[in-house]
Amino acid sequence: MNIAIVCYPTFGGSGVVATELGMALAEKGHEIHFISYKMPVRLNFISDSVHYHEVFIEEYPLFRHQPYELALSSKIVEVVEANNIETLHVHYAIPHAYAGYMAKQILKQKDIDLKLITTLHGTDITLVGSHPNYKTAVEFSINNSDCVTTVSNKLKQDTESLFDIKKDIEVIYNFIDMEKYSPKGRCKRHLIARPDQRVIVHVSNFRPVKRIQDVIRCFFLIQEKIDSKLIMVGDGPDKAMAELLAKELGIENKVLFTGNSNEVSEILCFADLFILPSETESFGLSALEAMAAETPVISTNTGGLPEVNIDGQTGYLSDFKDVKTMAYNAYKILKDDDILSGFKKRALKHASTFSIEKIVPLYEKLYFDALKK
């Protein structure tokens, strides 16, 4: 099948899922065309069935904001016509679903029936999409997609309660390539910590919703009881605040900020614990990546996180901002080698229920079903 995928090219979860999906589909023999304003950061699969099309926008002094949706719609039309694309899969509703709908209408006038699949990822619904500035257009583009998916049951519920949805929404969980996250053999843990220290990791885009100040505060309490180090992977608006907080708490020597990394699996391989204290998280792909690297997770109980992190089994869940409980739960996991090992094994086992082999065929089926509509 010839499939076009529209996504954000950055380190955000939706872009990662879209890119990994496209590469997996190409490996299964589909022809994949990525469309974005920059090469997706995780696109590292060289094959003659993977193509990248860049959306260019000329600066023009009249515009305060460049009309990206227009340029994207035009690019979709061009790519679909030139490559006999049958299915367009857009990740993150804003503005991709809207631009996809416009492209579909333009192509209809040319007697081309492009199927539009929209995957909702989280903040496109919970934080941004439901804002009055965007709500009407987001609701319209969801209702006018041929198929709509969400990455968790909770996100489906949120979508149905925040919008007037006239479509069936299918839940297709985020997925993970288990092979990629089990590199224990080539792990360089000794460069980061002594064998008797515990290593705690957080990965995100350091936006306010991720509550990275809670990661630092939680780690402060943990390191008072357990000799440990914290690795903060990622970059974003709250990074400077977190660095300052670590300094103020006098733990800056125990906290390493690595910046963005394309090699998250190389870092997770030496993690003993992963912390994700987000205010909201529709799924928590980074938690799944950690679990696939045999790492238990301390997370909040918000959004879809309880569908990924099983309380008392693969880690612990607690209320948003409840740093004390998070630290206490971390202590319960880290204090004893046997207990830690049990959590690690269960985290790995549960991660395998989201394996790429199980989830990608669900998207393939969705595309084939859409073509029959």
* 8 Å CB contact between 276 and 268: no
Residue 122 touching ligand GMT (CB under 6 A):
yes
Q: Toward ligand GMT, which CB reaches closer, 137 or 171?
A: 171
Q: Toward ligand GMT, which CB reaches closer, 13 or 277?
A: 13
* 8 Å CB contact between 192 and 263: no
SS3 164: coil
Concatenating the DSSP letter of every residue in 234-275 gives --STTHHHHHHHHHHTT-GGGEEEEE--S-HHHHHTT-SEEE
Residue 150 touching ligand GMT (CB under 6 A):
no
Residue 284 touching ligand GMT (CB under 6 A):
yes
Tokens 């880290």 label which residue? 334
The burial class, CB within 10 Å (0-12 / 13-18 / 19+), for 183 is middle
Task: Count other Cβ atoms within 10 Å, centred on residue 279.
Answer: 17
Applying the rule CB under 6 A, the residues between 195 and 214 that interact with ligand GMT are 205, 209
Binding residue for ligand GMT, selected from 98, 283, 363, 367, defined by CB under 6 A: 283
Binding residue for ligand GMT, selected from 3, 5, 12, 24, defined by CB under 6 A: 12
For residues 280 and 232, give the distance between their C-alpha atoms in angstroms, rounded to a whole number.
19
In the complex, what is the shortest distance from the CB of residue 151 to ligand GMT, in angstroms, rounded to a whole number? 4
Q: Toward ligand GMT, which CB reaches closer, 69 or 281?
A: 281
In the complex, what is the shortest distance from the CB of residue 205 to ligand GMT, in angstroms, rounded to a whole number? 6
Residue 350 touching ligand GMT (CB under 6 A):
no
Q: Output the CA–CA distances (angstroms, integers) from residue 326 to 34, 296, 298, 348, in the order listed.
A: 39, 13, 6, 21
Q: Toward ligand GMT, which CB reaches closer, 92 or 367?
A: 92
Q: Toward ligand GMT, which CB reaches closer, 86 or 304?
A: 304
Residues that bind ligand GMT (CB under 6 A): 12-15, 17, 92, 121-123, 151, 174, 205, 209, 278, 280-285, 303
